[in-house]
Structure 1
């Protein structure tokens, strides 16, 4: 057998490249958030709502194209879609450096959103196809950790670049172009094998053939991530305005605080598989909402910058538990031929949540009259949602025990 005929085995280098490709996937549109006040100053005729579309409108494009791009990857291959997506992310994202109007920036940010639509589902699907069992669970945690680190690097980097001017932060998106050669070398299109595992409690995954897709847990994951990302993106889109009102801080400090959310998301995602041994997926979602709600509540009641940073870190830690839980659950119940579409649907849910956050934030700001009130209100909602999920998890466990007792 010649070397070219040997079956491809995904090694550490392949995993690292996939993690690099996924780094901008979750907070890529919010990378320039530290520069929003500066962009408002550069374009005084543009309203705050219009300026906020720079980070909240691209997710709409991601949401609208996510399912289609997932289906395309099912038909034409993950690697091709990933390369094109990285190129579009890098070129469309960096275009803001050269543009001189808010409308032009927003137009190209829509194409940035289309590029993002191909990153998360293709990387998640490739990890699902390359690995299985506990290894897959561990790598799903690493995937979410990489996205958290990406948030830290992108937003902190943009905060530093914003010290120069509002334009420089857009150059951070060229990162996507730099990853393309690595994908060409280390990523191969996997063979299709119609086998998966069942994800129920913890990481016990008995082998089974999945022939029919159960849509109920799929919809539950989608709705959960939709609500969670609304909460997370209120931090990304509004905290810079809160900081400029409550304290005289630089854009670098704003970027560092936003990066805290990404850093702690990475910390919790890295150890996700340890949590998953003890908690069911519904309980993991409950923990996510508890932590996000508590973090937002703290931000809303904070009196100084360190406390605001602590609240943002809690929000990120919560998201880091929930995101890999959703990906792992979906990958375990989905037949391989539908993986691209289902993971694309996850992207739709996530980025519709990001887009909806701008409207939720505007309504809460109008209702409460302050950014503190906005964060306080959504924090209480998050805690209450966490209670509902935990109660549902306990009732589900009780029902299973009763059924087991009747057998």
Structure 2
């Protein structure tokens, strides 16, 4: 009993230590680094392997192939994280992340680089699920909402750092961009020292003399979950147009160097980071559906601006506007999912979110190529279709909000 009390006291001290939160937030930024870091270097990598068959598709897969294996690995990682534990999986996948991502610095074959990206994707699946699940396990609703907002903010500002750093390194040599991935290894001591394996809900309840939670309290809201997953999938497909296709437009049509490409792309993550951090304050005033209306509207508006005014200045404004929507969307999804699902299935539910997120990123490459190469749409046409689609989804949420208000008025 004394040993158990000492363990609980130690865990509480770790929760109150701000370094614990910082470690969780820094680990979360690794998921953004997986794709964002190399984006400014992609046009140069294409030139290096220009004689490789299907290089136009293969070089884009450097960005999106990890997403496929994150999507495929997420359900497995979700089961592991609920059965085997959070901290072990996070430690192992962070080590794998550093070596799989950084190995590209030593590789001179496009095929070998793509293989290394497969292992990177598997690592990201474990990192994303465990980091978000640990936040949900460690903290109660109000604090959890705030930290999940900070998580999305850190991911966004991490994206700024990685895009700009990746762009700078790409001006020296495209292979230098892969060195950034080794930075993940510096987080291992923090994970081992400041994080702990949370006690299962069943054990915690038994230790407090409470009954196990009944099966009815663990009912899975499948319709709600599938709807959220679908929204995530669609938004990520359109979001990654700016990651995989915009660099080519900026470097080709607007003649920007990799460093400037990284800075332009970072404008989306600036607004995304700010509004992710503001999420908790905004959520206290309006509903989940209202935030989804705002997020889809701003995302769509930003893309429509890019479609109609494809100059550097308006692309920056458009990305900044779209980033407002993206910054509110991600924490709104994670907070709503964790609120609506029981902790015993939380890892698996969040693994589905991860799968949808990165499956959308992977599919984005093929959908953009469908628009540009098969249907012969222009760059502006593609962004216009994406923007209008987001506005339509926003209007659906607006209709639901009005319907609910009318129903409450009648009642």
**What does residue 274 of structure 1 align with?**
281
- Residue by residue over 1:106-140, the C-alpha shift from the partner in whole angstroms, topping out at 9 and shown as x without a partner, is 11101100011012211111111111121111111
Residue 22 (structure 1) aligns with: 28
Instruction: Determine if the alignment matches structure 1 residue 138 to structure 2 residue 138.
Output: no
Provide the rounded CA distance (Å) in 1 between the counterparts of 2:126 and 2:406: 40
Listed as ranges, the gaps of 5+ residues in structure 2 are 204-215
The equivalent of 1:283 in structure 2 is: 290
CA RMSD of aligned residues (A): 1.8
- Structure showing the higher helix proportion among its residues: 2
Structure 2 counterpart of 1:102, from 104, 110, 130: 110
Instruction: Find the counterpart in structure 2 of residue 162 from structure 1.
Output: 170
Q: Which residue of 2 aligns with 1:199?
A: none
2:155 match: secondary structure: helix
Equivalent residue number for residue 80 of structure 2: 72
Distance apart, 1:269 and its partner CA? 0.4
Which residue of the other structure, out of 29, 45, 53, is the alignment partner of 2:51? 45
In 2: Cα distance, 1:277 partner to 1:375 partner: 33
Of residues 318, 324, 333 in structure 1, which corresponds to 2:331? 324
Q: What does the per-residue CA deviation read over 1:66-91, in whole Å, with 9 as the maximum and x for residues that have no partner?
A: 01101101111111111111111111
Deviation at 1:368, TM superposition (A): 4.7
State yes or no: 1:389 paired with 2:391.
no
TM alignment of 1:180-259, pairs within 5 A: 180-193=188-201, 210-259=217-266
Q: Does the 8 Å contact 1:73/1:340 carry over to 2?
A: yes
- Tell me if structure 2 keeps the 8 A contact 1:267–1:320: yes
Shift of 1:279: 2.4
Kept in 2: contact 1:83–1:183 (CA 8 A): yes
- Residue 227 of structure 1 and its aligned partner are, at CA, apart by 0.9
The offset of 1:302, in angstroms, is 2.3
In structure 1, what is the Cα distance between the partners aligned to 2:174 and 2:218? 51
CA displacement, residues 119-174 of structure 1 (integer Å, 9 cap, x when unaligned)? 22111111111111211111110011011111111111100100111101111111
Q: Is the 8 A contact 2:33 2:159 kept in 1?
A: yes
SS at match of 1:337: coil
Q: Distance in 2 between matches of 1:27 and 1:354?
A: 14
Query: 2:401 and 2:127 mapped to 1: Cα distance?
Result: 32
- Residue 374 (1) aligns with residue 382 (2): yes
2:322 corresponds to which of 307, 315, 326: 315
Say if 2:299 and 2:325, in contact at 8 Å, map to a contact too.
yes
Within 1, Cα distance between the matches of 2:245 and 2:354? 22
Note if contact 1:32-1:170 (Cα within 8 Å) is conserved in structure 2.
yes
Retained in 2: the 8 A contact 1:261–1:316?
A: yes
2:236–2:357 Cα contact (<8 Å) kept: yes
Gaps of 5+ in 1: 196-208
CA contact (8 A) 1:141 1:272 kept: yes
Q: TM-score, normalised by structure 1?
A: 0.92
Look up the match of 2:71: 63
Q: Distance in 2 between matches of 1:85 and 1:149?
A: 22
TM-fit CA distance, 1:278? 2.7
Aligned length: 390
Aligned residue for 2:353? 346
Match of 1:328, SS state, is helix
Do the aligned residues in 2 keep the contact of 1:137 with 1:328 (CA within 8 Å)? yes
Identify which of 177, 187, 202 aligns with 1:179. 187
Is 1:123–2:136 an aligned residue pair? Answer: no
Q: Contact 1:210 / 1:333 at 8 angstroms: preserved in 2?
A: no
Structure 1 equivalent of residue 268 of structure 2? 261
CA distance 1:6–1:335, shift in 2 (3 Å): closer
Q: 1:189 to 1:242 in 2, by over 3 A?
A: same
Cα shift at 1:225? 0.9
C-alpha distance in structure 2 between counterparts of 1:154 and 1:85, whole Å: 20
